[in-house]
Structure 1
Amino acid sequence: MVAWILGVILFALGICISVALHEAGHMGAAKMFGMRVRRYFIGFGPTLWSFRRGETEYGLKAIPAGGFCDIAGMTALDEVTPDEAPRAMWRYPTWKRFVVMVAGSVTHFILGFLILYVMAITMGLPNTEPVRPEIASVNQCVVDKGNTSEDGCAPGAPAPAKDAGLREGDLVLSVDGTPTPTWGEMVAKVEGLSGPAEFEVRRGGEVLTLTVDVARVSAPNGEQAGAIGVSVALPPAMIGYGPLDAVGGTVSFTGDMFVGVWNGLLDIPEKVPAVIEAIGGGERDPNTPVSVVGASIIGGDAVEQGIWEMFVLLLATLNFFIGVFNLLPLLPLDGGHIAVLFYEKVRDWLRRLRGKPAGGPVDYTKLSAVTMVFVVIGGAFMLLTLTADIVNPIRIGQ
């Protein structure tokens, strides 16, 4: 239990540091361009502690659920004092405001990359290469799914792979004319077969065609599935790197993570019913979205069981997720402000083509209804995942 509590605290601390660095990214970019940064605070609610250095107040608030960087004149509607007006953010060129807005997400991306790089040279990175259909061993017979031939073969039990002449080291290229580049694709094809089937295999430098009499066995769901009685040669789960080659490995793995994070964002709407079902007592799908609380619980489980690779990987994933999510073109996210910037730029370009002067800054009050809709939907989703993580959290090994 102590290890679990330590894991939860460490993961929550990691999230707080990530948020602090996100806001520091905005602040650093704004100060670099000479914008007036009024306040930089971690948390919300009553102020616990603060100090002033130069023109900026730094501090910590009571609720550690985020943070903020108060830049004078972030929009034209923000009230600014006479001495702040010349350095109001909205007066600066579009590209400078863009850099300030995107700096928070870029900070998450850099942090996530650094986490993965350190992981690469210490623990290694997960092997994302698909498992090839290379035969590790040929069994004495086929048995029902979930069992092994080591449990014993019944008299007369079929041995399709052995009888067909398949050998250890054979690489299955196709089954019944269907290419099988991965082990999963080969298994899926075989499970749908019954009786003689042609297996094209590479053995050394030679390509052979063998006829395998696919048997039918019982699967855990009570249905029948095809089987031939072979096992796969599993590659290492983790790949270790040195300080130099870890750069390329981390870049490649980061790209895979970005794809996964983006696909995860797109899948969120269809996962909502499963979250609601979990709140009602149904089994929690491990692929459903989680809140910060849920992620911390998973982090605690990982530490308790000594799976530090999962802990570190989850922290990196969270940084990429927050970075990508903040760039969605919806207010009040950073991406929403960036979308407004580009709208102003395109609008003024079109006005110049028509011989008209540039328009003024966008009136954010006209966007308040759209912003409120997103805030309500986002708030409801956060409450939904938080509730699910409290009453029916995703757990590791339990």
Structure 2
Amino acid sequence: MLAYIFGVVLFALGICLSVALHEAGHMVTAKAFGMKVRRYFIGFGPKVFSFRRGETEYGLKWIPLGGFCDIAGMTALDEVTPDEAPRAMWRFKTWKRTVVMAAGSVTHFLLGFVVLYVLAVSMGLPNLAGTPQISAVQDCVRNAQTEEEFANPQCQPGDPAPAKQGGLLPGDKIISINGKSTPTYPDVTAAIQPLSGPVSFQVERDGRTIPLTIDVAQVDRPITDASNPQGHIVKVGSLGVGFARNFSYNAVTAFGGAGQFTADMFGQTWNRLLEFPERIPAVVHSIFGGERDPNTPVSVVGASRIGGEAVEQGLWSLFLLLLASLNFFVGVFNLLPLLPLDGGHIAVTWYERVRDWLRGLRGKAAGGPVDYTKLSAVTMVLVFIGGAVTLLTVTADIVNPIRLQ
């Protein structure tokens, strides 16, 4: 129980650190461009303490669920004093305002990369894509009555060794079987099971594609499924290989590994965002007693609970992976062109830039800053929707949380 509580608190602190660095990204870039930063606070609610250094007040508030960076003149509607007016943010060039607004999300991306780098050099990165890279080649394959016997055969003289005899080596990646592409190791398994005898393989080794012919053996294997929970024995084609579940790196190669993993997570994050609306009904269903789909969105509460369970079970790689994925999600989500997100402010900034460019082509003077009061209704609707979704996910994570098996 103590390990679980420690994990929850540690994950929550990780989130707080992420938010603090997000706001620090805005602050540092704003100061670098000469904008006036009035306040930088971590948390909301009543003030715990604060101090002033230069023209900026720094402080901590009681509720550690966010933070803010108060930059003078973020919009033309913000009140500024006469001495602040020349340094009001809205007066700066479009690209500078864009950099400041995007700096929060960029900070999340950098933090996610750092977490993945630490994971890569310490525990390795999980093979989430199911890349069919061979980690081990067995000395033989033989009939088995249990999964344990199938995975670890007790070899006898004369037993077939398809992978070993066919020339497969650890580190090889199986590209295709009999001309059919095999992008994942489940694809390799599905392709091999009905086969026997000589089979054509294409494998990637040290950047080169190598053709191999391997004599696939048919062996007995125990299969358990919904129709036969007690299990039954079937004949399947077998290679005698193990696939990498984790990729190991050193301090140098971890940069490339973490970079590739970051790119993959960006793609997964975007897909999750596209699927987000259609998964909300499942969240509502789970609140009223339905089974919780593990693919439904989770709140900070749910993520912290999962982080606690990961620590309790010693799954530190999952803990770090969850923290990195949360940073990528928040970073991408925050760049959506919707107010009051940073992406919404960036969209308005570039609308002004394009509008003034078009006006210039027609010989007209630049227009004034966008009147944010005209966007207040849309902003409030989006805030209401965001609040409702947050309330739903928090409720689901309390009454019917996603749990590690």
Q: What's the TM-score, normalizing by structure 2?
A: 0.83
Task: Look up the equivalent residue of 2:186 and give its one-letter code.
Answer: G
1:272 pairs with 2:280: yes
- Over the matched positions of the two proteins, sequence identity in percent amounts to 61
Residue type of the alignment partner of 1:65? L
Cα distance in 1 between the residues matched to 2:399 and 2:199: 50
Give the equivalent residue in structure 1 for 2:293. Answer: 285
The answer to whether the Cα contact below 8 Å between 2:105 and 2:331 also exists between their aligned partners in 1 is yes
- The alignment partner of 1:311 has SS state of helix
Checking the alignment, whether the CA contact within 8 Å between 1:135 and 1:230 is kept in structure 2 is: no
Q: Distance in 2 between matches of 1:315 and 1:173?
A: 32
Corresponding residue of 2:131: 130
Give the structure 2 partner of residue 66 of structure 1.
66
CA deviation map 1:221-264 (0-9, x unaligned): 22899851537622343333222222222211211121121112
1:361 maps to amino acid: P
**Which residue identity is paired with 2:35?**
M
- CA distance in structure 1 between the partners assigned to 2:144 and 2:149 by the alignment: 10
Which whole-Å CA distance do the structure 1 matches of 2:335 and 2:329 have between them?
A: 10
Q: Per-residue deviation at 1:141? A: 4.8
Deviates more, 1:290-299 or 1:126-135: 126-135
User: Match of 1:156?
Assistant: none
Whether 1:9 aligns to 2:9 is yes
Q: CA deviation at 1:140?
A: 4.7
- Could you tell me how far apart the structure 2 residues matched to 1:107 and 1:214 are? 53
**Residues 98/225 of structure 1: CA separation in 2 closer, same or farther (3 Å cut):** farther
C-alpha separation in 1, matches of 2:222 and 2:313: 35
Q: CA deviation at 1:70?
A: 0.8
Q: Aligned AA for 2:389? A: F
Q: In structure 2, give the amino acid aligned to 1:167.
A: P
**CA displacement, residues 126-145 of structure 1 (integer Å, 9 cap, x when unaligned):** 235512599858765587xx
CA distances 1:295-340 after superposition (whole Å, capped 9, x unpaired): 1111111111111111111111111111111101110000000001
> 1:79-228 to 2 correspondence within 5 Å?
79-128=79-128, 130-131=131-132, 136=138, 140-141=142-143, 148=147, 150=149, 167-169=162-164, 178-188=180-190, 200-201=200-201, 207-208=212-213, 220-222=225-227, 228=236
Q: Is the 8 A contact 2:216 2:239 kept in 1?
A: no
- CA drift of 1:39 comes to 1.1
**1:88–1:286 Cα change, 3 Å:** same
Tell me whether 1:50 sits opposite 2:33 in the alignment: no
Q: State which drifts further: 127-136 or 99-108.
A: 127-136
Paired residues of 1:174 and 1:199 also in contact (CA < 8 A): no
Pair 343,187 (structure 1): closer, same or farther in 2 beyond 3 Å: same
- TM-fit CA distance, 1:74: 0.4
2:77 partner letter: L
- Return closer, same or farther for 1:56/1:380 CA change in 2, 3 Å cut-off: same
CA change 1:148–1:248 in 2 (3 A) is closer
Instruction: Quote the residue 1:311 is aligned against.
Output: 319
Residue of structure 1 aligned with 2:376, choices 368, 378, 383? 368
Q: Are residues 17 and 232 of structure 1, via their aligned partners in 2, closer, same or farther at CA, if it must alter by over 3 Å?
A: farther
Structure 1's unaligned 5+ residue stretches are 152-161
> How far apart, in 2, do the equivalents of 1:364 and 1:140 lie?
72
- Displacement of 1:269 in angstroms is 1.7
Q: Deviations over 1:87-146 (max 9, x none)?
A: 111111111111110111111111111222222222222235512599858765587xxx
Stretches of structure 2 that go unaligned for 5 or more consecutive residues are 151-157, 169-173, 204-209
CA contact (8 A) 1:138 1:167 kept: yes
Residue 187 of structure 1, CA deviation:
4.0
| Structure 1 residues 181 and 27, CA gap change in structure 2 (3 angstroms) | closer
- Alpha-carbon separation, structure 1, partners of 2:250 and 2:221: 47
CA distance in 1, matches of 2:108, 2:392: 25
Local SS of the residue matching 1:228: strand
CA contact (8 A) 1:198 1:211 kept: yes
Other-structure match for 1:325: 333
2:386 pairs with 1:391: no
In 2 relative to 1, CA 318–227 (structure 1 residues): closer, same or farther, beyond 3 Å? farther
Q: Is the CA contact 2:335–2:344 (under 8 Å) kept in the aligned structure 1?
A: yes
Give TM-score scaled by structure 1 length.
Answer: 0.84
**How many aligned residue pairs are there?**
381
Residue 206 of structure 2 corresponds to none
Amino acid at match of 1:78: D
Match of 1:57, SS state, is strand
For 1:248, the equivalent position in structure 2 comes to 256
- 8 A contact 1:44–1:64 mirrored in 2: yes
Question: 46-55 or 67-76: which moved more?
Answer: 46-55
Gap change, CA 1:272 and 1:135, over 3 Å in 2: farther
User: How far apart are 1:6 and its partner, in Å?
Assistant: 0.6
For 2:50 and 2:120, the matched residues in 1 are separated by 38
Shift of 1:167: 2.5
Looking at structure 2, the residues matched to 118 and 124 of structure 1 have their Cα atoms a distance apart, in angstroms, of: 9
In structure 1, C-alpha distance between the alignment counterparts of 2:115 and 2:225, rounded to whole Å: 40
Deviations 1:170-195 (A, max 9, x none): 5788678744454312444578x7x9
Residue 22 of structure 2 contacts residue 108 of structure 2 at CA under 8 Å; is this kept in 1? Answer: yes
- The alpha-carbon deviation at position 58 of structure 1 amounts to 1.2
1: distance between equivalents of 2:133 and 2:306? 31
In structure 2, the CA distance between the partners of 1:189 and 1:18, relative to structure 1 (3 Å rule), is same
